[in-house]
Amino acid sequence: MDFLEIEGGCKLNGNVTISGAKNSALAVIAATILSDKEVTLTNLPNVVDIRTLLKLLTMLGAKVEHNDTVAKIDCSTISSTRAVYEIVAQMRASILVLGPLLSRFKHCEVSLPGGCAIGQRPIDLHIKAVEVLGAEVTLEQGYVVAKAENGLKGNKIMFDKITVGGTENALMAAAMADGVTEIVNAAKEPEIVQLSEMLNMGGAKVEGIGTGRLKVHGTNGKPLDFSEPVEIIPDRIEAGTYLCVGAITNSEITLDKVNVEHIQTSIEKLEAMGCEFDIKNDSVTIKPVAELKGVNIVTTEYPGFPTDMQAQFMAVATLASEDSLIEERLFENRFMHVSELNRLGADIWLKGNVAAVRPVKELIGAEVMATDLRASSALVIAALAAKGTTKIRRIYHLDRGYDRLEEKLSNIGAKIVRKKS
């Protein structure tokens, strides 16, 4: 089993190129099912989750050519609409094939999903969305079986709570439906914006992009045609993670190929902690700061503070000069990194969905275990600032979402090595 060995306390300096956004790429890959022609995707991150979803498409019968950051996907040859447990159990985002498979083929069977254990994250909203569009849905032996023999019909989908994956599935299901679908209380994340723009390019018509109310004019069964390559947007979570690396190590790090608007909340919270930035069109430089201040964070949907950055900021807050409070409002089990950070010498106390982070003078290297994707990156951040050597186990979580992490950190001066136990 691979693990990371990190020697902390190094001063870092240099440039990090931000990869394509994993979460956006997963939805875009799923959307290629809506086309019966070859689709080219560029700026894909080289992470396990991308390879897993591409493998799923191959198992459905699609032709896939994948070379590092570029994939050519031809879904004209799909011969099966059954997304098997073997793949879906590895990654929750596999549920995103539900909407496009149903919309194009009028039938699909998708295994109940797996992925990070950070809460129940039920798929009831995904199912409700396609039912509103006329699908008959049953649960059979661990599979979501959806049928729409006469095709999906446009309707009004009202989400009780904001759901990124649910909004993505609703958009893709509505894209080939007959008539107009209105999605109320839709997610506003940049990943939703990219998917909407892609659907427009393919021949559907999405109105209200970037708002909580989307209107989708379906193609009435006509497959979409993505004639131009789709370039995946920069990963805002990866960018925020490297900003946290700069903050906790008191280093000057420049992020290249970044969308500044997408990471505005992370920048603002780090500014509240005393950090300063040099911001240009597509690059951000974080400057060294003598002392970090405490911070109060409440996670919420975009454009609020992202739950996917909560763990990383908690790591930074351990070495602040003041207490910090972090409230997690989106997922009930997303504090599993707390006990591991405390093993490194942090002083974090939990009460329900609130974490109180009390400052400590230093972190001390230890052996720790990753529990999910973002918790893994929090442990890396803490280890880079800790005195001595830290070994991080179960780093397969990191491989799901961070492109060439060791290489990028090594290039800016970190002492980080992947080893086998």
Which distant-in-sequence residues (6+ apart) come within 8 Å of 388 by Cβ? 7, 8, 364, 365
Nearest CA-CA partner of 199 in 183, 233, 176: 176
Q: How far apart are CA 77 and CA 251, in angstroms?
A: 50
Contact yes or no for 181/167 (Cβ under 8 A): no
Nearest CA-CA partner of 315 in 264, 374, 260: 374
116 is catalytic: yes
Catalytic residue among 108, 116, 244, 275: 116
Both tokens assigned to 188:
């506003």
Both tokens assigned to 282:
């597509």
Beta-carbon neighbour count of residue 137 at 10 Å?
A: 16
DSSP state letter for 141? T
Q: How far apart are CA 163 and CA 141, in angstroms?
A: 25
Which distant-in-sequence residues (6+ apart) come within 8 Å of 209 by Cβ? 193, 196, 197, 200
Q: Residue with structure tokens 């008959």?
A: 136
Nearest CA-CA partner of 124 in 73, 161, 175, 75: 161
Full DSSP string of 192-248: HHHHHHHHHHHT-EEESTTSSEEEEE--TTPPB---S-EEPPB-HHHHHHHHHHHHH
Please, what is the angle between helix 310-317 and helix 264-272, to 10°? 20
Q: Residue with structure tokens 């022609």?
A: 37
Q: How far apart are CA 41 and CA 39, in angstroms?
A: 7
Question: CB-side exposure of 379: number of CA atoms within 13 Å?
Answer: 35
DSSP state letter for 388? S
Q: How far apart are CA 384 and CA 254, in angstroms?
A: 17
Contact yes or no for 255/16 (Cβ under 8 A): yes
Question: What are the catalytic residues?
Answer: 116
